[in-house]
Amino acid sequence: MPVGSASRVELTPGFVLHQRPYRETSALLEIFTPTHGRVGLVARGVYAPKSRRRGELQAFRALRLSWNERGELGTLTGVESDGPGVSLAGAALYSAFYLNELLVRLLVRHDPHPLLYERYRQALQALSDQPAGIELTLRLFEKQLLQETGYGLLLDVDCETGEPVQADRFYDYHLEAGPVASIPGSTKGFLFPGSSLLALAQESNLDEVVLRDAKRLMRAALSLYLGGKPLKSRELFVKA
């Protein structure tokens, strides 16, 4: 292909993760697709008075999109609905924005993660159908995201001894290594019961106690890999 020429991508499933105004009537989009990963696009004329695309390019709506690829940013050429959207409100809506921000912050552009894409689609549906299960939905998505981006958490093996984690013991979790058996009676370290680590590893028996422990662990791990820069979406929960 000649230098500077653009390749055309056929309609592919995707979601808009973020958009912001660009120049007078255009928008800069971050989209997430199963086959191209996170992609940056220019949507020209989307804010023009008679444009239909502004209504189509909504977050959390399953879409099919096409674009011309040219360098780091492509140009949107087509968009259509890919099925019924989800209904999100309150904490479920804020949680969906949180998922989007995590994807924008942690995914490298043009690095496909089809399994993560499917987990994201399922998470949006779960937030819509079962808003009471928000904590479970978020923790499982965070776990998958860390795994897919190369930061997966070791949960079922003592990283120092290689021995299986025991449900009735406590472990000091080293974020870039894994759990280390704690001295009985010790109150020092980033401590978790083995039962919570095993439940999270197996994604089963995730009761209120396990989910509380999982939130503490995931928040620390994500903060490490986000470079300590706070997530704007968390401010929505504070203001709600």
Residue 150, pLDDT score = 93
For residue 43, which of 27, 32, 54 has the smallest C-alpha distance? 27
Task: For residue range 104-117, list pLDDT tens digits in order.
Answer: 999 999 999 999 99
**Rounded Cα distance, 136 and 199, in Å:** 12
Query: Distance between terminal CA atoms of the chain?
Result: 51
Residue 69, pLDDT score = 85
The CATH architecture one would assign to domain 7-81 is Beta Barrel (2.40)
List, for the chain, all residue ranges whose pLDDT scores fall below the cut of 70. 1-6, 234-240
pTM tops 0.85, yes or no: yes
Residue 56, pLDDT score = 84
**Rounded Cα distance, 16 and 114, in Å:** 16
For residue 59, which of 115, 110, 20, 23 has the smallest C-alpha distance? 20
Residue 114, pLDDT score = 96
Residue 2, pLDDT score = 45
Q: Which two tokens stand for residue 13?
A: 């499933």
Give the chain as a 3 state SS string.
Answer: CCCCCCEEEEEEEEEEEEEEEECCCEEEEEEEECCCEEEEEEECCCCCCCCCHHHHCCECCCEEEEEEECCCEEEEEEEEECCCCCCCCHHHHHHHHHHHHHHHHHCCECCCCHHHHHHHHHHHHHHHHCHHHHHHHHHHHHHHHHHHCCCCCCCCECCCCCCECCCCCEEEEECCCEEEECCCCCCCCCEEEHHHHHHHHHCCCCCHHHHHHHHHHHHHHHHHHCCCCCCCCHHHHHHC
For residue 62, which of 43, 84, 40 has the smallest C-alpha distance? 84
Residue 1, pLDDT score = 43
For residue 56, which of 88, 31, 93, 91 has the smallest C-alpha distance? 31
Domain assignments of the chain as residue spans, ordered by start: 7-81, 90-150+225-235
Residue 235, pLDDT score = 63
